[in-house]
């Protein structure tokens, strides 16, 4: 006779975990417990907030901006550079725009976006330090009303192509997918090529040009062909190395390995041809001043490109352009040549989308750049916790309330 199979049961095992009888502890929020908790939180958060805010205030920030700012510290400056309402911009705290044969920083014609003519460059933005700014000083560009987080914009790129895959999938690129062009140094007729890189993000790269024109200290004015006191050419004062995330350069971007090196001409499309170095072995891009130190990376491995491809989450953002590895003493003047354009396919147009551009100089601390929000938040939370702890303590002492005793509770299922 076959043995009977054990009767199946859905009853859980008789273990503390499955029977939900694991010992536990649940705090009872008595008045003194709540008062103590609020007091401790206040004591912890308040000094942290004060330290964070103080460190943020140490940062020296100069915003050569598009907006008439108010309530700023003496070190902060604003001057119209490009964008909407140019004529209403104001000059503050030693910053000023000096046009070069033009009414503003914008270039006169589209063709001027493809050359670097000093006489038609755009403008000079002059900054006179109001107080000492220890180096290195970050040089950043700031955009307002530019939505890099727009869903169609964010997705419009080919990850395979950016990583240098031999047969990339270009289906995710819905704009700027091909180009009709001739090869570099070739007499063959123009033909169609896949644009590399394709997509909206890559082909709307910010390519306004900032170039250190001169530095003036208490002794003299140093121009591009001069050597400053620390032995660095004025032309090379703007260091544009190590501005991108190393993880991005290592994992996200790799140039396509073309069998014919002349195919790398496609890196030099009019959108960003003047600021991204071309393939090694080709003739240099005519505008050599778009980076001030020899660029060791080219194509999508360019650091300027990698910085732009890390999209911002808000329509108002700043991105690192370079750094000045020098100290600016109070009274010193740094002048930047600025090339900006409102023409599509030349430089980076912003007026037609009612946007704004700004050039920002800032120092930084161990916490990073100037951002008082974190310090103010900690201070407010700590202050509120302390105030509530004192109020609850006074209420508890002046008008106490008798609490119930857990011993008098009757649990369901308990025997009488």
Give residue 76's pLDDT. 43
Identify which of 289, 320, 284 has the alpha carbon closest to the alpha carbon of residue 213: 289
Q: What is the pLDDT of residue 399?
A: 87
pLDDT tens sequence across 326-367: 888 888 898 888 777 554 444 566 767 777 788 888 877 766
Look at residue 279 in the predicted model and tell me its pLDDT: 45
Q: Which two tokens stand for residue 148?
A: 């890099």
DSSP string computed for 43-55: HHHHHHHHHHHHH
Secondary structure of residue 60 in the 3-state scheme? coil
Whether 112 shows a pLDDT value over 80: the answer reads no
Q: What is the mean pLDDT of the chain?
A: 74
What pLDDT was estimated at residue 144? 82
User: Domain residues of the chain, as ranges?
Assistant: 30-58+367-401, 60-363
**Contact assessment for residue 298 and residue 267, using Cβ atoms and an 8 Å cutoff:** yes
Q: Which of the four pLDDT bands, split at 50, 70 and 90, describes residue 78?
A: very low
Q: Which residue has the tokens 């000096």?
A: 98
What is the rounded CA–CA span in Å between residue 146 and residue 217?
A: 37
Which one has a higher pLDDT value, 224 or 29?
29
- Structure-block tokens of residue 396: 């508890």
Give the sheet arrangement for strand 221-223, strand by strand. Answer: 95-99, 123-128, 333-339, 209-216, 221-223
Q: Which of 416, 200, 171, 191 minimizes the C-alpha distance to 308? A: 200
Mean pLDDT along residues 121-145: 82
DSSP one-letter string for 346-412: SS---GGGT-EEEEEEE--BTTBS--HHHHHHHHHHHHHHHHHHHHHHHHHHHS--PPPPGGG---T
Per the model's pLDDT, the better-predicted residue between 379 and 167 turns out to be 379
Nearest to 176 by CA among 137, 206, 139, 203: 203
Phi, psi of 96, rounded to the nearest 5 degrees: -155, 155
| Average confidence (pLDDT) over 213-222 | 86
Pick the range with the lowest mean pLDDT from 159-173, 253-267, 318-332, 380-394: 253-267
The pLDDT value given to residue 30? 84
List of residues 6+ apart from 179 with CB closer than 8 A = 192, 193, 195, 266, 269
Is residue 141 within 8 A of residue 359, CB to CB? The reply is: yes
State the average pLDDT over residues 362-391.
84
| Residue 37 clears pLDDT 90, i.e. is over it | yes
- Higher pLDDT pick, 19 / 384: 384
Whether 84 contacts 354, CB under 8 Å? yes
- Report the 10 Å Cβ neighbour count for 210: 22
Closest CA to 124 of 286, 335, 283: 335
pLDDT in tens, 197-212: 888 888 888 877 787 8
Comparing C-alpha atoms, which of 370, 371, 361, 367 is closest to residue 136?
361
Tell me the per-residue pLDDT of 290-311, one tens digit each, with 9 for 90 and over. 444 445 566 788 888 899 999 9
pLDDT (average), residues 131-153: 85
Residue 387: pLDDT band (50, 70, 90) is very high
CA distance 297 to 342: 29
Q: Which residues contact 248 (CB under 8 A, 6 or more apart)?
A: 306, 309, 310
User: Above pLDDT 90, what percent of the chain?
Assistant: 12
**Across 32-54, average pLDDT:** 90
The secondary structure of the chain in percent helix, strand, coil, rounded to multiples of 5, reads: 25, 20, 55
């Amino acid at each position: 006779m076959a043995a009977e199979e054990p009767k199946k049961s859905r009853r859980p095992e008789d273990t503390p975990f499955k029977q939900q009888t694991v010992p536990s502890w649940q705090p009872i929020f008595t008045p003194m417990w709540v008062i103590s908790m609020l007091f401790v939180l206040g004591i912890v958060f308040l000094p942290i907030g004060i330290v964070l805010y103080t460190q943020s205030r140490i940062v020296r920030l100069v915003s050569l901006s598009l907006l008439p700012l108010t309530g700023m510290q003496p070190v902060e400056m604003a001057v119209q550079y490009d964008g909407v309402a140019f004529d209403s911009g104001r000059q503050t705290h030693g910053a000023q725009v000096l046009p070069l044969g033009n009414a503003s920083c914008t270039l006169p014609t589209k063709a001027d976006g493809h050359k670097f003519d000093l006489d038609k460059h755009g403008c000079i933005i002059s900054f006179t330090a109001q107080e000492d700014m220890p180096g290195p000083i970050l040089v950043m560009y700031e955009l307002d009303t530019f939505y890099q987080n727009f869903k169609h914009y964010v997705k419009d790129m080919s990850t395979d192509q950016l990583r240098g895959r031999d047969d990339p999938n270009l289906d995710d690129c819905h704009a700027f997918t091909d180009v009709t062009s001739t090869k570099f140094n070739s007499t063959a007729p123009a033909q169609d090529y896949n644009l590399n890189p394709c997509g909206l993000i890559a082909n709307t790269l910010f390519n306004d040009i900032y170039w250190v024109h001169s530095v003036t200290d208490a002794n003299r004015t140093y121009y591009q062909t001069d050597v400053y006191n620390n032995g660095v050419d004025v032309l090379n004062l703007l260091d544009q190395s190590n501005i991108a995330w190393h993880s991005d350069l290592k994992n996200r971007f790799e140039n396509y390995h073309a069998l014919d090196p002349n195919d790398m001409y496609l890196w030099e499309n009019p959108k960003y041809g003047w600021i991204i170095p071309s393939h090694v072995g080709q003739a240099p891009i005519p505008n050599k001043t778009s980076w001030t130190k020899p660029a060791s990376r080219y194509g999508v491995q360019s650091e300027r490109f990698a910085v732009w491809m890390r999209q911002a989450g808000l329509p108002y953002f700043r991105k690192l352009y370079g750094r000045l590895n020098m100290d600016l003493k109070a009274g010193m003047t740094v002048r930047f040549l600025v090339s900006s354009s409102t023409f599509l396919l030349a430089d980076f147009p912003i007026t037609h989308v009612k946007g704004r551009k700004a050039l920002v100089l800032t120092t930084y601390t161990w916490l990073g750049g100037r951002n008082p929000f974190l310090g103010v938040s900690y201070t407010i939370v700590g202050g509120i916790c302390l105030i509530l702890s004192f109020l609850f303590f006074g209420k508890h002492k002046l008008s106490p309330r008798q609490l119930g005793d857990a011993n008098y509770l009757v649990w369901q299922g308990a025997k009488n």
